[in-house]
Amino acid sequence: MRALAPGILLAALAGASGQAATATITISSVGGMPISPLLYGVNYVWDKVPGQDFAAYQTAMDDVAHASLSRYLGGWGAESYNWSANTESGKRAARMPGEAPAGFLAAVPAASFITPSVAAVKQPEMIGDTVHQSVALVSQYGGRVKYWEIGNEWWLQGGAKRSPARRAENLAGYARLLAAVAPAMKAADPSIKIFAMADWAAPDEVAQMRQLAGAGWDAVDGISVHSYCGATDSTRRCVDLPAGIAAVRRASGKQLIYASEWAAVRAMNEDDDGIRNAGLTVCALGDMAFAGINLGAYWPPVNVLPGLAFVSGDYRTAYATGVAFGWMAKYYEGQALAAGGDMTALAARDGGQVNVIVPSGDSGPVHVRILLTGTGLQGVVDGSVLFGADASGRVARTASLPVTMEMDDGKTYAAFDLDPGGPGRGAGYEIARVTLR
C-alpha cells in the first residue's frame, strides 16, 4: 500500500477511447493517527471583519466550516492592538474596528490569543513593559483562553524576510523576550498553554531559540508554526509536514504543536482557484493530521485572497474551500488511517465507521472502488460529492453520491463514479465522501 501523501494529487490512469478509468483505493485496517478536534480552527482576522459583521461571520464559521477554535486577532493586528480601547495604532489605526475580546469570547467554542512582541524583540529595554502587558492579559482572560502565542512571525519583523542578519537578531531578541515573559505568564495562570513561534521549515532556529531562552524555556508548552504549504515549493511541501513537524519537536523538546496560520497557498501551487483549492485544502489537512498537529487555525477564512476564502464578503455564500473544510471537520475525525492506491485518498475511523474522502484531481471520468475485504467493513452508510457550481469552481455545490457494492475476484468493493466537469458538475474537479461501516 502506498503511504498517504495527499499533498500531491494523483490523477487516475486514463481510460481507453474516452471511457472511464477504474481506480482502486485501499485503506489500512490497523493503527491510525489520532486526529485532534482542535485541528479545525480559523483565524478571526480582526481588521477584515468589522464588529458589526461579526455575528454573520461567526454563523458562517459555525455552519459552513464547523470551526472548533478561533485565533484572535488573526495575525499582525496583535502587534499593534490596544486591548482596552479595541483599536489599532500606527498605520493601521484608521481601520474599522473588529469585534472586541468580550464579544468574541462569548461567541466562539474555544479561543487562542496572541500577545505583542515587536517592540521587545527590537528593543530589550521594552521587555519589562511587554511582560507587564502580557501578564495583565492572562490575568484578565486566562480563565476563558487557554492557548497563548508570544507574538506573530518574528522571522518577518523589521525586514528580516530579506536579511539573514536581521533574522538572526530577531531570533536572539525573541528568545530574550521568551525567557522573561513565558515564566511570568505561567505564574499568572498555570493552567494556560504557552506557544513560542517558529518557522516550521527551520528547525535549527528552534534549537537555537531553546538554548538562548535558557531556563525560561521550561515555561513554554509548545511551538506555534505557520504551516503554509503547497506542491511546487520544494522547501514547503504539504507532504513534508509530518517530517518537518517531527524535526521541530526534536529541536524544541516540546510535543504540543499549533499550526496557528496555514493554507495551501497560491505561491506554492500551480492552480489554487475554487474547487481545486478545496481539494488541496483537504489534502493539506490530511498531512497535518499525520503530522500529529494538535491545534490549527486556517488563514484567511474571509474574502481576503481570491480562491482561498471560506465564504463571500457578505458571509452568505459558501465557497468550495469552506465547504470542504467543513466536511473534514465533520467526517475526518477519530483516527487517520493510511490510504492510497491509484488515487489520493484520506480515511478516518470514528467508532465503528470509516469515512473516506477522495479528491478527483483532473482525472476525467473515473470509476472508483474502495476495497473492503480485509478491513472489517461490511457496507455503505452513504455518500456525497462536492463540486464547483460553474466554470470558476468557486461557489460550492453538493449532491448525493450513489455508492454500490461490487464483487471482483472474490473481493468486495464499495464503488462510485466521479465525473469532474461532467453534466451539471461545473468546474473540472470534485471531491467525494463515502461513509462505510
pLDDT over 70, % of the chain: 93
In angstroms, the CA 153 to CA 262 distance is: 13
Which one, of 119, 104, 8, 11, lies nearest residue 49 by Cα?
104
For residue 223 the three cell numbers come to: 511551538
Using the 8-state DSSP alphabet, how is residue 98 labeled? -
pLDDT computed for residue 8 by the predictor:
33
pLDDT computed for residue 4 by the predictor:
36
* pTM summary value: 0.94
Give the CA count within 13 Å in the CB-facing half-sphere of 265: 17
Q: Edge to edge, what strands does the sheet with 396-400 contain?
A: 33-35, 334-337, 346-350, 353-359, 430-436, 380-388, 396-400
CATH 2.60.40 residue ranges of the chain are 16-32+338-436
Q: How far is CA 292 from CA 207, 347, 416, in A?
A: 20, 15, 31
CATH class for the region spanning 16-32+338-436: mainly beta
CATH superfamily of 36-333: Glycosidases (3.20.20.80)
Reduced to 3 states (helix: H, G, I; strand: E, B; else coil), residue 362 is coil
For residue 5, is pLDDT > 80?
A: no
For residue 99, is pLDDT > 50?
A: yes
Helix or strand run (H / E) with residue 91: none
pLDDT in tens, 166-183: 999 999 999 999 999 999
pLDDT computed for residue 9 by the predictor:
36
**Cα 291 from chain centre:** 12
pLDDT in tens, 369-399: 999 999 999 999 999 999 988 888 889 999 9
Let me know: does 167 contact 160? Beta carbons within 8 Å. Answer: yes
Using the 8-state DSSP alphabet, how is residue 264 labeled? B
Q: How far is CA 178 from CA 6, 128, 193, 353, in A?
A: 36, 12, 14, 44
pLDDT in tens, 245-258: 999 999 999 999 99
Q: How far is CA 134 from CA 17, 116, 137, in A?
A: 66, 8, 5
Mean per-residue pLDDT over the chain, rounded: 91
Residue 385 contacts by C-beta under 8 Å, 6 or more apart in sequence?
398, 399, 400, 401, 418, 430, 431, 432, 433
pLDDT bracket for residue 11 (50, 70, 90): very low
Helix or strand run (H / E) with residue 282: helix 274-290
pLDDT computed for residue 160 by the predictor:
86
pLDDT bracket for residue 269 (50, 70, 90): low
CATH 3.20.20.80 residue ranges of the chain are 36-333
